[in-house]
Structure 1
Amino acid sequence: MNRSKSGQRGGMMLVLILVGLLAYIGVLGAQVFPTYMEFQSIQKAVKKAAAEGNSVAEVRLIYEKATAVEDIKSVQPKDLEVVKQGDRWVAKFAYSKEIHLFGPAYLVMKYAGSS
């Protein structure tokens, strides 16, 4: 069976498009993954700060120390909403990250959590 040259070019074009799409998804994943890892670090630091703190100021101070160790940039101590619920402190946070896709298009990641 002989394939026509145009059929071979069409198949090659499809392969190139698929490879390009997979490469773009890989690049996008490489940009999304660090934002998720930072969210995990923030969540861990907030839980620790709320569990160990005895006041709003102390919860923020403990969290601030964790931001220095974990290199957290997205949520600063002043951004935490710290409230007393019963006999324990609860710290809440919310923020978003934008990842440029192409032209005017962005992927917006919204993160929120609490202790």
Structure 2
Amino acid sequence: MPSKAQQRGISFIGLLFVGAVLAMTGVVAAQAFPTVIEYFAVEKAVQRASTGQSVVEVRALFDKQAEVDTIKSITGKDLEVTKVGDKVVVGFAYEREIHLAGPAYLTLKYAGRSK
């Protein structure tokens, strides 16, 4: 039977520290996850909007899809609409901030463009 000096493992204080770090990570992840879901919705809306033929039409298509998917971070006015050859290319970029504690924020930057 091993003596106390030979025992290995984590102390109670170490266990509390690991638990606190995991809890904080979980809280931040739970707040960041909806922004990632929204990003994928924005990408899908941009792909659909890129079927428009004019800037006004592209923005209107995006805004309609944004209503359906409840996109709050970006609107049709925020899109960068260009033409490459005869194809409409729609780009976007936006930031989301998540309040952590006190003056600390986590800033997530999202950007993309249609194919």
TM-score after normalising by structure 1: 0.88
**Percent of residue pairs bearing the same amino acid type:** 48
Unaligned runs of 5+ in 2: none
User: What is the root-mean-square deviation of aligned Cα atoms in Å?
Assistant: 1.4
Between 26-35 and 97-106, report the one with greater CA deviation: 97-106
Q: CA deviation at 1:103?
A: 2.1
Q: CA deviation at 1:100?
A: 1.5
- Superposition pairs of residues 10-49 of structure 1, within 5 angstroms: 11-49=11-49
CA distance in 2, matches of 1:39, 1:112: 9
Q: Which structure's residues are more often helix, by fraction?
A: 1
CA distance in 2, matches of 1:88, 1:57: 15
Q: CA deviation at 1:106?
A: 1.2
CA distance in 2, matches of 1:42, 1:70: 8
4+ residue runs over 3 A deviation: none
Where 2:11 maps in the other structure, the secondary structure is helix
Where 1:113 maps in the other structure, the secondary structure is strand
Unaligned runs of 5+ in 1: 4-9
- Superposition pairs of residues 1-115 of structure 1, within 5 angstroms: 1-2=3-4, 11-50=11-50, 52-115=51-114
Where 2:12 maps in the other structure, the secondary structure is helix
Question: Would you say how many aligned residue pairs link Structure 1 and Structure 2?
Answer: 108
